[in-house]
Chain A
Amino acid sequence: MKRLLILLLSGALLLSLALAQVSAGGAAEEVDVEHDELVVYSPLHEYEISRLLRAFERDTGINTEFIRLSAGELAARIVAEKDNPGGDVFFGGPSETHEAIIPEGALRPYESPRAAETDADYHHPEFYWSGFYVGPMGFAINTARWDEAMDGEEYPRTWEDLLDPRLEGEISMASPAASGTAYNIVATQFFRYVSEDEAWNYLEQLDRNVPFYTSSGAAPARHAGTGEAIIGIAFAHDVMKPMDAGFPLALSIPQESGWEIGAVSIIEGGPNPSAAEVFVDWILGPEAQQLHTDLSLRISTHPEVQMPPGATPLAELDLVDYDYEWAGAHRSRIVDEWNELFQ
């Protein structure tokens, strides 16, 4: 009996030592008096985040760590962590996702001295978030399959082009209930048409060509890339990456395209508040934005940034008059109705 107790006790001791080791490893990173560390939550591409943060470390001497998840996953996580936030900045992703967690008290407003350099349209009126890029919506077209199915016709350039009966079952799109990208597509129709009935009518016709709605906003570009669909609807920068990788894709940005503002915000109560401000100032500056645009092919909100080859300047695009306030306010109603009609 004694032997057993000794064994159990030493086992327990060993275990707690091991656990203390592990917890100490994690906890040490939360304590930061000097603010020479920064924890970044970002939905951008792994590549871009790594390279941007390397430049940031070089410029400021602040060490960084990042976690990459989808914008929706990060939003859920930031809200759930509210009592003890693990991240300092929410870097990238549509402004709507940032907007959605403001009422939860998850973000801290910060007016960067750099904010004045960009148009006031590109940040929150109270500076809960600041935009650093703009991305238009585009069609990812599988060139081989398009030529086969459409006899070499020109690539689609309007939303109406997607209604062609020859594209039945060939358009990939995400569900607006799951994806911010897809909600942007749906909301765009309400800004293109005068009446809501017309918008619903368009969505109903589009639905005939969409075999199913994916749960991930990035999946449609993937489906077009691998030929599972002829067209995938996604943000232009999400299409250009697989194009670069060698997939047989073409990008078409339709007339009256929807667009997103990519935002950065500071998480309320994060462990390194001053480093977070340094980061926001840094990313809103022209050098960091140029690097981001070069890496991602997204369109910068900063007027001094040069467009990379292949990307269309914002001014030359035919964008729909996207009303973010309206889109945010009507989101649950529209998604509910959409679910009733198409799910």
Chain B
Amino acid sequence: MSTVTPTLDNGKRSRLTGVVSAFKDPTTIIAIVVVTIPLAVMVLYPVVNVLVQPAIEHWQTFFSRTRYLTTLRNSLVMAALSTVSATFVGFCFAYALSRPNFPGKTFFRVTSILPLISPPFVAGLALILLLGRRGIITHGLLGVDVSMYGWHGLWLAQTMAYYPIAAMTLSGVLKSLNPTLEYAAQDLGQSRWGIFKTVVLPMTIPGIAGAALLVSMLSLSDFGNPMVIGGPFRVMAVEAYVQVVGMQNLGMAAAISVVLLVPSLLFFLIQRYWVGRRQYTSVSGKGGGLDPIELPTAVKWALFAFLSFVSLFVVAIFVVIVWGAFARTWGFDWSLTLDNFEFTFLARLGHIWNSVRFSLAAGFGTAVFAVIAAYVLLRKRFVGMKAFDFLVVLPAALPGTLVGIAYIFAFNRPPLVLTGTGLIIILSMAIRNVPVGYRTALAGLQQIDISIEESAADGGANTFQILKDITLPLLKTAFTVTLVYTFVRSMNTVSAVVFLVAAGTNVATTSILGLSEHGYWGEAAAMATILIAITSSVVIAFRVLGGKRLFEL
């Protein structure tokens, strides 16, 4: 049996059991402390360290120069464009893969997450090689002379980079929609479009909003894509970087970063107060044995064509990277050689090993942390819930450069000296992925009706038992997805890490950055290929060990 419970605003939701247990049960208090203290130390403390950097003159400069205001407008416009497109593509993937009769699912499952494992800068080089003024597709195939540098190239790059995040967040939601609702709507005479409009879409709204929020924050703080492909289209995250690196003007960089936080905050509030009210839960436990309703033929093939187009493009980028690793000269001489791998094997195996162990540690840490945080927020009621929620999502809004610099400032002097350790790198990796893990876990949890837990509580179970026997099994997907997602992202992260690596804790991506900056693209592609191989092996290993599909798409 299943129930549909349109619930009210979070605060007004009936959660008597929750209130009682929050005070009787020390687990809740421990959980809140376990989540809040690390966030306060690893997010608030360094951020406050940076916030005090700008002087009045920096603010005056920012608001009196059209240059900065244009940059702000660019960032906002790009965030809006990328959010719409990436969420749309992600939804198409998640929706198509949740239907029983969609062809080529195995292939699309892979391409729905493939862009996540694209190493920094090399993917940008591959994109230019395919679509640039002398691009294989644009110039070679179509014979046109177009430049990818600019807002359009950046939009494309961000859409490709962020649709997997939307797909991941949405897949959990779509998967756990109970198919009986769709059949009920069908029995009541709804057309298939009607079912989509009145059942699927409304029930997915919180998921869509969560996905869109994440994408918009990532787009706002994105540094790698605009750096490589933004061209004349200047955005705030790059501007902050330029201030630090070009002018050594940390005050101005901090001012820019603070301004960047404002739209993130705004999106967050919109998501929280506007969409947050339209939440629905649908499942008492997992859905029954029924498959969701099949796609109509026309829709099926339209989706198939669209997703094939996206997927082939993604595959092309990876083919270029891997081929580039074995080619004599990137983009010019495609004859095969192993020379490009020599450097990595001679001198960089230690960096690769560091990448792997730091990323695994970050993955486990983030997964545990995100699931606890999501559980606490949705199931317990306590003072400062909104602040808590904001604190957990806040890291998504921080540009990587800022995180890197802030960490050096905060953790290079007592009371907490962490610079030079592997721990600071693990923490920087973990913290930046907590929001995605948390959102994924929330999306999963929102679909599990609280009444199951309440009845367990009525039966005498304490929070821990409820968590262990009911909630955690239902959150397994969110946990694994977060673990693997964080691992993959951390293997490929660069913007914060460049400031934190030390002798002995250097990672592979900083080497790739150095190689590609100086035109050693073959070597960069070779190292990227090794990273891709390791990352995909780990993903596959998790899938095999887990005994089930890793990404429930």
Which of A's residues lie within 8 Å of B, judged by CB?
1, 3-4, 8, 18-19, 22-23, 25-27, 29-30, 39, 45-47, 50, 65-70, 72-73, 75-77, 79-81, 83-84, 86-87, 100-101, 145, 175-180, 211-216, 218, 221-222, 225-228, 238, 241-242, 245-248, 332, 335, 339-340, 343
Contact A19 B423 (CB under 8 A): yes
Contact A1 B464 (CB under 8 A): yes
Note all chain B residues with C-beta closer than 8 A to A247: 329, 332, 519
Cα–Cα distance between A101 and B250 once the two chains are bound (Å): 13
Within the complex, the shortest CB–CB distance from A321 to chain B, in Å, comes to 25
Within the complex, the shortest CB–CB distance from B530 to chain A, in Å, comes to 15
Note all chain A residues with C-beta closer than 8 A to B147: 211, 228
Contact B332 A25 (CB under 8 A): no
Q: Which residues of chain B (342-388) have a CB below 8 Å from chain A?
A: 343, 347, 361
A211 and B503 in contact, given A27-B420, A76-B244 (Cβ under 8 angstroms): no
A26 and B405 in contact, given A8-B30, A100-B248 (Cβ under 8 angstroms): no
Within the complex, the shortest CB–CB distance from A233 to chain B, in Å, comes to 15
B333 at the interface (CB under 8 A from A): yes
Cα–Cα distance between A143 and B412 once the two chains are bound (Å): 49
Q: Which residues of chain B (394-428) have a CB below 8 Å from chain A?
A: 405, 408-409, 412-413, 417-423, 426
Q: Which residues of chain B (497-525) have a CB below 8 Å from chain A?
A: 498-499, 501-506, 510-511, 513-515, 517-523
B476 at the interface (CB under 8 A from A): no
Contact A46 B245 (CB under 8 A): no
Contact of B420 among A86, A175, A180, A214 (CB under 8 A): A86
- A48's nearest neighbour on chain B, judged by CB, is B518
Contact of A77 among B232, B328, B499 (CB under 8 A): B499
Cα–Cα distance between A145 and B134 once the two chains are bound (Å): 10
Note all chain A residues with C-beta closer than 8 A to B538: none
Contact bitstring B113-134, A, C-beta under 8 A = 1, else 0: 0000000000000001100111
Note all chain B residues with C-beta closer than 8 A to A27: 420-421
Contact A18 B519 (CB under 8 A): no
B234 at the interface (CB under 8 A from A): yes
A246 and B149 in contact, given A25-B504, A212-B232 (Cβ under 8 angstroms): no
Cα–Cα distance between A178 and B253 once the two chains are bound (Å): 12
B263 at the interface (CB under 8 A from A): no
Contact A22 B422 (CB under 8 A): yes
Contact of B520 among A29, A45, A226 (CB under 8 A): A45
Cα–Cα distance between A332 and B501 once the two chains are bound (Å): 30
- A26-B502, A80-B405, A343-B67 known; 10 new pairs, CB 8 Å cut-off, are A30-B420, A39-B502, A47-B343, A68-B510, A73-B245, A84-B420, A211-B232, A225-B519, A228-B128, A245-B329
Most chain A CB within 10 A, of B238, B409, B502, is at: B502
Cα–Cα distance between A18 and B347 once the two chains are bound (Å): 27
Cα–Cα distance between A236 and B426 once the two chains are bound (Å): 39
Cα–Cα distance between A71 and B422 once the two chains are bound (Å): 23
- B149's nearest neighbour on chain A, judged by CB, is A212
A177 and B247 in contact, given A70-B517, A80-B408, A247-B329 (Cβ under 8 angstroms): yes
B288 at the interface (CB under 8 A from A): no
B322 at the interface (CB under 8 A from A): no
A226 and B503 in contact, given A80-B409, A177-B246 (Cβ under 8 angstroms): no
B241 at the interface (CB under 8 A from A): yes
Within the complex, the shortest CB–CB distance from B327 to chain A, in Å, comes to 10
- B462's nearest neighbour on chain A, judged by CB, is A1
Contact A222 B498 (CB under 8 A): no
Contact B519 A242 (CB under 8 A): yes
Note all chain A residues with C-beta closer than 8 A to B413: 83-84
Note all chain B residues with C-beta closer than 8 A to A65: 503-504, 506
- A40's nearest neighbour on chain B, judged by CB, is B503
Within the complex, the shortest CB–CB distance from B402 to chain A, in Å, comes to 12
Note all chain B residues with C-beta closer than 8 A to A180: 246
Closest 3 CB pairs of A and B: A65-B503, A212-B232, A26-B421
B227 at the interface (CB under 8 A from A): yes
A212 and B134 in contact, given A228-B147, A241-B519, A246-B333 (Cβ under 8 angstroms): no
- A182's nearest neighbour on chain B, judged by CB, is B246
Note all chain B residues with C-beta closer than 8 A to A226: 128-129, 132, 134, 331
Cα–Cα distance between A145 and B139 once the two chains are bound (Å): 13
Note all chain A residues with C-beta closer than 8 A to B517: 70, 216, 218
Contact bitstring B130-142, A, C-beta under 8 A = 1, else 0: 0011100000000
Cα–Cα distance between A79 and B245 once the two chains are bound (Å): 11
Within the complex, the shortest CB–CB distance from A236 to chain B, in Å, comes to 13
Contact B332 A246 (CB under 8 A): yes
- B249's nearest neighbour on chain A, judged by CB, is A332
16 examples of A-B residue contacts, CB within 8 angstroms: A19-B423, A22-B423, A26-B504, A39-B503, A46-B511, A46-B514, A50-B347, A76-B244, A80-B499, A84-B412, A87-B503, A211-B231, A212-B149, A228-B134, A245-B519, A247-B332
Cα–Cα distance between A3 and B467 once the two chains are bound (Å): 14
Cα–Cα distance between A134 and B245 once the two chains are bound (Å): 22
B242 at the interface (CB under 8 A from A): yes
Contact of A227 among B26, B134, B511 (CB under 8 A): B134
Note all chain B residues with C-beta closer than 8 A to A1: 26-27, 462, 464
Cα–Cα distance between A335 and B65 once the two chains are bound (Å): 14
Note all chain B residues with C-beta closer than 8 A to A145: 134
Note all chain B residues with C-beta closer than 8 A to A72: 244-246, 248
Cα–Cα distance between A248 and B423 once the two chains are bound (Å): 45
Contact A69 B514 (CB under 8 A): yes
A46 and B518 in contact, given A76-B245, A83-B413, A228-B128 (Cβ under 8 angstroms): yes
Contact A67 B246 (CB under 8 A): no
Within the complex, the shortest CB–CB distance from B379 to chain A, in Å, comes to 16
Cα–Cα distance between A216 and B245 once the two chains are bound (Å): 10
Within the complex, the shortest CB–CB distance from A191 to chain B, in Å, comes to 21
Contact B234 A76 (CB under 8 A): no
Q: Which residues of chain B (412-450) have a CB below 8 Å from chain A?
A: 412-413, 417-423, 426
Note all chain B residues with C-beta closer than 8 A to A87: 503
Note all chain B residues with C-beta closer than 8 A to A67: 501-503, 506, 510
Note all chain B residues with C-beta closer than 8 A to A22: 361, 421-423, 426
Contact B245 A18 (CB under 8 A): no
Within the complex, the shortest CB–CB distance from A250 to chain B, in Å, comes to 15
Contact bitstring B325-337, A, C-beta under 8 A = 1, else 0: 0001111110000
Note all chain B residues with C-beta closer than 8 A to A26: 420-423, 502, 504-505
Contact A79 B520 (CB under 8 A): no
Within the complex, the shortest CB–CB distance from A258 to chain B, in Å, comes to 17
Cα–Cα distance between A154 and B389 once the two chains are bound (Å): 64
